[in-house]
Amino acid sequence: MQYRTVHVEASRSYDILIGRGILAGLGDFIRPLLGECRLAVLTDSNVDALYGGTIMEYLHAAGYSACKYVIPAGEASKCAANLLAFLNFLAGEQFTRSDAVIAFGGGVVGDLGGLSASLYLRGVKYVQLPTTLLAAVDSSVGGKTAIDIPAGKNLVGSFYQPSLVCCDTALMDTLPKEIYRDGCAEVIKYGMILDKELYDTLHTLPFDRDAVVARCVGIKRDVVQQDEFDNGVRGLLNFGHTFGHAIEKLSDFGVSHGEAVAKGMVIAAKVAPLCGLCDVADELSALLLRYGFDITCGYSAGEIYNALLSDKKRRGGTISVVLPRTVGDCCLVQLPVEELGCLLEKVI
C-alpha cells in the first residue's frame, strides 16, 4: 500500500497519511496509537450510504469492537443537539477513557467528532478520516473542533489534536463536482498564501490529487506548528475567509464555503493594491474561473461591511485581513474597520 506521510508536532504529535485505498489498512495504522479499545465511528448519512459498511468491515476484520453513529448530512447537523446526542450515545455504549472516536466524513463530522472527543470524560482519543477535499486539506488537520450555535458558525469549540489523520483520496472519486470544487478553493488559497510552485501546478487540470493534498497539508502543518492556538501566523489560513464568511452569512449559507472563499479571495486581492501591495486580482480571478467559480461578489459593499462587524477576527475598532503581497506570499494586515468599509466601496 503506497501513501504519503506528513508528521505534525503540536500539543499532541500525529501523522497525516494520504493515499488511495489506505482505509483498508486503518486497523494496522491505529493499533499502535490506540491499542486495544472500542471505537465509535461518527459519520453522516451520505458517507454512511457509500462507505459505512466498508469501514465497519475493515474495523471488525482488524479485530476491533466498533459501533456507528450516523447524523444527517449537512451543516445543520453541526449543532449542540447532535453534540449532546453523540455524547449520550458514547455514555450509553459505556465508553471509557481508553476508547476512541473515529470521525469519518467531511468538515461537519470532523468538527463535531473532534469536539465530542475533547469533551467526553474530559478527553478521549480520536482519529480523523476526511472524505472531502475540503476536510482533507483544512478541517481535519490542526485540531480546531467546533459546533455552530444560533449566534454564529464555529462559536463553540476547542483546540484538540487527533491521534491520526488518515486520508483515503479514492473516497473523493464519488464527491459531487460542486463539493470537490469547494476543496479546490482552499487548495488555491494555500498556493496564494505560501507556495507559488503549488499555485503554478494548479493551472494543470486535473491536478495530482495525492501530491496536492500532501503539499497543502504540509503547508498547514508548518503554520500550525508555529501557532497552534491561532494567535498569529495561523491567521494567514484565513485568506479569503473574512469576506467569504460575510458572504456565506449574507446568503444564509446558500453560497457554499468554497464558493464564498473564492469570492472572498478576489475581494482581498482587489483591496491589496489600495493598501500599497501588488495587484494579482486578474491573475487569481483567471485561475478561479478555470475551476468554474462564480467570482462575482453578489452583495453591496455596505452589506459586506455590516456582516464584517460581527466577525470573530474583529478586535475593537480594527479587523485583521489577509492580503496578497504577490502570488505565494500573503500577509496579515490590521485595518481600522471603517477604513476597510471605504476600501470595499472602491472594489465592489
Nearer to ligand GLY, 48 or 138 (CB): 138
State yes or no: residue 257 binds ligand GLY (CB under 6 A). Answer: no
Cα separation, 281 vs 303, in Å, equals 21
Binding mask 177-216 for ligand GLY (x = CB under 6 A): ----------------------------------------
In the complex, residue closest to ligand GLY by CB: 237
**Binding residues for ligand GLY, total number by CB under 6 A:** 6
Least distance from C-beta 228 to ligand GLY, angstroms? 10
Q: Is 237 in the site for ligand GLY (CB under 6 A)?
A: yes
Q: Which residue has the cell 464555529?
A: 154
Binding status of residue 340 toward ligand GLY by CB under 6 A: no
Enumerate residues 113-132 that contact ligand GLY by CB under 6 A. none
Residue 7: burial class (beta carbons within 10 Å; 0-12, 13-18, 19+): exposed
Stretch that binds ligand GLY, among 137-145, 161-169, 198-206, 333-341 (CB under 6 A): 137-145
Closest CB 9 distance from ligand GLY, rounded Å: 16
Bridge-based pairing of strands 100-105 and 14-19 is unpaired
Residue 339's region, left for phi above 0, alpha for psi from -120 to 50, else beta, is alpha
Smallest separation, CB 157 to ligand GLY (Å): 11
Nearest Cα neighbor of 121 from 94, 154, 85 is 94
Q: Quick one: 26 or 115, whose CB is closer to ligand GLY?
A: 115
Q: How far apart are CA 185 and CA 132, in angstroms?
A: 13
CA pair distance 223, 250, nearest whole angstrom: 30
- Residue 34 or 237: which CB sits closer to ligand GLY? 237
CB contact set of 62 (below 8 Å; sequence gap of 6+): 26, 27, 28, 31
Cell numbers found for residue 251: 446568503
Interaction between residue 144 and ligand GLY (CB under 6 A) = yes
**Cis bond before residue 206 (omega within 30° of 0):** yes
| 3-state helix, strand and coil shares in percent for the chain, rounded to the nearest 5 | 50, 20, 25
C-alpha cell at 199: 499555485
List C-alpha distances in Å: 264 to 71, 168, 256, 257, 280.
30, 29, 12, 10, 14
Kindly tell me which of 189 and 270 has the beta carbon lying closer to ligand GLY.
189
CA distance 81 to 83: 5
Q: Which amino acid is at 153?
A: K
Stretch that binds ligand GLY, among 59-67, 70-78, 173-181, 229-237 (CB under 6 A): 229-237
Q: How far is the CB of 127 from ligand GLY (least distance, A)?
A: 18
Q: Binding to ligand GLY by residue 68, rule CB under 6 A?
A: no
Q: Which of 4, 68, 78, 234 binds ligand GLY (CB under 6 A)?
A: 234
Span of 70-78, 94-102, 136-144, 201-209 interacting with ligand GLY by CB under 6 A: 136-144
Nearer CB in complex with ligand GLY: 138/311: 138
Pick between residue 144 and residue 249 the one whose CB is nearest to ligand GLY: 144
Binding residues for ligand GLY, rule: CB under 6 A, are: 138, 142, 144, 230, 234, 237
